[in-house]
C-alpha cells in the first residue's frame, strides 16, 4: 500500500497513539481542506419519474423487474440534470454532447469556484495550483486554462487535470492537493469537480447495469480550497491509494463513436470487503483506529457500499449520514460526492477542534483514494 508523502521531523501525528515502530513521523504542516461549494443544475428528476421512464421505454425488457427493484433500492429520491429530461433522453451525437458539456461547465463552474474562494478567504491571486477532475466530458486544453483566463488567476498557476479516475477522482484531488502543500507549505490549491453524468446516457445500452446507472447518477459541480496555512476545515495529515488487483474492467468506459458507454460489473457492490483493510492500514500507519474516528466523509456509490463499509469498518451506519444525504438528494454525482458530503458536515456545524476523520473516494481500478486528518478551526493551534 502506498501512503502519503512523509517528511522527516515533526511530532507524532496524534497524542492518542504513537506511530508503529520503524515508520517515520509525519511533519505537522498545515494543509487544510476548507468548506466546499456545491451546485446542482435546476432540472430535477424524481425516483418515481425514473421508474416510470424505465417502464415506458423498456416494457418488454426481460429483466425489467430486476432493474426497477435495483433502482428503488438505491435510495435516490431526486437527481439534478443539466438539460430537461426530454433533451437528456435524446442522443444528438458525441460531438454535440461534448459541446454541451463545455458550454455548461463554462457557464456554471465560475460561480462555484468564487464561493469556494470566498469561504476559504482566498483571492484568485492566492491560488498556486488548480486541480480539475471530471470523467463526463473532454476538453483540451483543460477547463483549468479557461478558468485561469476567465477568472484572472495568475498565469503561473499550475494546472493538474485528472480525467480518468471516475468517482475516485474527488479523493485523488484532495490527496494531490495535500501533496502539493507538503511540497510547498505556503501554497494553496483549488479543487474543482465538474460532472454531468446525464450527458453520458446511452439509449441503446440495455444491460441491467446500464439501466441501474440511468437511475443512480446525477449532475453536480463542487469546488474547495486546500490552504497551506490557516483555514477552517480538515487538516490533512496522511493520504494513500490502493488498487484491488485484477479489477480494472469492473468499472470502465467503452469509448465509441456515440461517446462514453459506462460499464459496471455486478461484483462492484462487494468491493468494500477488500477495501476496508486498506482504510484500516492507512489509519493504523497514522496511529489511529479506522473504526474509532469522529467523522467519515465517504464516496456514496450506492447504499450497498455504505452498508458494507459500516460492517467491515465496524462503524455505526449513522457515521455515513452525510454521504447518504448526498446519495438521496443528488444521486451519485461521481467525483463531486466526497466534496458534497464534506459540505454537509460544515453545514451541520462542523466537528470539534482536533476531531479525527477519514475521507475516501472509490472508483475505476478498482481504486480507493483515502486520507486522514483532524478538524482545524482557524486561529487555534
Q: Tell me the per-residue pLDDT of 14-24, one tens digit each, with 9 for 90 and over.
A: 333 333 333 33
Are 35 and 225 in contact, with CB atoms under 8 Å apart?
Answer: no
pLDDT at 206: 87
**Mean pLDDT across 240-261:** 93
Rounded Cα distance between 363 and 136, Å, is: 14
Hey, CA dihedral for 139, 142, 147, 149, is it positive or negative? negative
What pairs with residue 298 in β-bridges? 360
Q: Tell me the per-residue pLDDT of 13-67, one tens digit each, with 9 for 90 and over.
A: 333 333 333 333 444 567 999 999 999 999 999 999 999 999 999 999 999 999 9
pTM: 0.90
Rounded Cα distance between 189 and 280, Å, is: 28
Q: Tell me the per-residue pLDDT of 302-334, one tens digit each, with 9 for 90 and over.
A: 889 999 999 999 999 999 999 999 999 999 999
pLDDT at 300: 80
Rounded Cα distance between 296 and 302, Å, is: 16
Q: Tell me the per-residue pLDDT of 267-284, one tens digit each, with 9 for 90 and over.
A: 988 899 999 999 999 999
Q: Tell me the per-residue pLDDT of 155-198, one tens digit each, with 9 for 90 and over.
A: 999 999 999 999 999 999 999 999 999 999 999 999 999 999 99
CA atoms within 13 A of residue 122's CA, in its CB half-sphere: 34
Are 373 and 359 in contact, with CB atoms under 8 Å apart?
Answer: yes
- Cα-flanking dihedrals φ and ψ of residue 184, to 5°? -130, 85
How much of the chain is in helix, strand and coil states, percent to nearest 5?
Answer: 40, 25, 40
pLDDT at 378: 80
Q: What does the domain layout of the chain look like in residue ranges?
A: 1-375
pLDDT at 363 over 70: yes
Q: If DSSP codes are grouped into helix, strand and coil, which group holds residue 86?
A: helix
**What residues are annotated to the active site?**
167
Rounded Cα distance between 172 and 131, Å, is: 10
> 205: pLDDT confidence band, cut at 50, 70 and 90?
confident
Residue percentage of the chain with pLDDT more than 90: 81
Average pLDDT of the residues of the chain = 90
* Topology at the third CATH level for domain 1-375: Peroxisomal Thiolase; Chain A, domain 1 (3.40.47)
Q: Tell me the per-residue pLDDT of 92-127, one tens digit each, with 9 for 90 and over.
A: 999 999 999 999 999 999 999 999 999 999 999 999
**Mean pLDDT across 70-80:** 93
pLDDT at 225 over 50: yes
- Cα-flanking dihedrals φ and ψ of residue 194, to 5°? -130, 110
Amino acid at each position: 500500500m502506498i501512503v502519503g508523502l512523509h517528511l522527516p521531523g515533526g511530532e507524532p501525528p496524534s497524542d492518542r497513539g504513537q506511530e508503529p515502530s520503524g515508520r517515520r513521523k509525519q511533519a505537522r504542516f498545515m494543509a487544510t481542506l476548507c468548506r466546499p461549494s456545491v451546485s446542482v443544475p435546476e432540472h430535477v428528476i424524481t425516483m418515481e419519474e425514473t421508474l416510470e421512464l424505465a417502464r415506458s421505454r423498456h416494457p418488454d425488457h426481460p429483466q425489467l423487474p430486476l432493474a426497477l427493484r435495483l433502482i428503488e433500492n438505491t435510495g435516490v429520491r431526486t437527481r439534478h440534470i443539466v438539460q430537461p429530461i426530454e433533451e437528456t433522453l435524446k442522443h444528438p451525437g458525441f460531438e454535440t454532447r461534448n459541446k454541451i458539456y463545455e458550454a455548461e461547465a463554462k457557464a456554471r463552474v465560475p460561480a462555484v469556484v468564487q464561493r469556494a474562494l470566498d469561504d476559504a478567504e482566498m483571492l484568485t491571486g492566492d491560488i498556486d495550483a488548480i486541480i480539475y477532475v471530471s470523467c463526463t466530458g473532454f476538453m483540451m486544453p483543460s477547463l483549468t486554462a479557461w478558468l485561469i483566463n476567465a477568472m484572472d488567476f495568475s498565469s503561473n498557476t499550475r494546472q493538474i487535470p485528472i480525467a480518468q479516475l471516475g468517482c475516485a477522482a474527488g479523493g485523488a484531488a484532495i490527496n494531490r492537493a495535500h501533496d502539493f502543500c507538503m511540497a510547498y507549505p505556503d501554497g494553496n490549491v483549488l479543487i474543482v469537480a465538474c460532472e454531468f453524468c446525464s450527458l453520458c446516457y446511452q439509449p441503446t445500452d440495455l444491460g441491467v447495469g446500464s439501466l441501474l446507472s440511468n437511475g443512480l447518477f446525477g449532475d453536480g459541480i463542487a469546488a474547495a480550497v486546500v490552504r497551506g496555512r490557516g483555514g477552517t476545515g480538515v487538516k490533512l495529515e496522511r493520504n494513500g491509494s490502493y488498487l484491488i488487483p485484477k479489477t480494472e474492467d469492473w468499472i470502465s468506459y467503452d469509448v465509441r463513436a456515440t461517446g462514453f458507454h459506462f460499464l459496471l460489473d455486478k461484483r462492484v457492490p462487494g468491493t468494500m470487503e477488500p477495501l476496508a483493510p486498506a482504510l484500516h492500514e492507512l489509519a493504523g500507519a497514522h496511529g489511529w483506529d479506522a473504526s474509532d474516528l469522529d467523522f467519515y466523509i465517504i464516496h456514496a456509490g450506492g447504499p450497498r457500499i455504505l452498508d458494507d463499509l459500516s460492517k467491515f469498518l465496524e462503524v455505526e451506519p449513522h457515521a455515513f449520514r452525510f454521504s447518504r444525504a448526498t446519495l438521496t438528494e443528488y444521486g451519485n454525482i461521481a467525483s463531486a460526492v466526497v466534496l458534497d458530503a464534506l459540505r454537509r458536515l460544515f453545514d451541520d456545524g462542523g466537528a470539534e477542534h482536533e476531531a479525527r476523520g477519514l475521507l475516501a473516494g472509490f472508483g475505476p481500478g478498482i481504486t480507493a483514494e483515502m486520507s486522514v486528518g483532524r478538524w482545524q478551526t482557524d486561529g487555534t493551534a
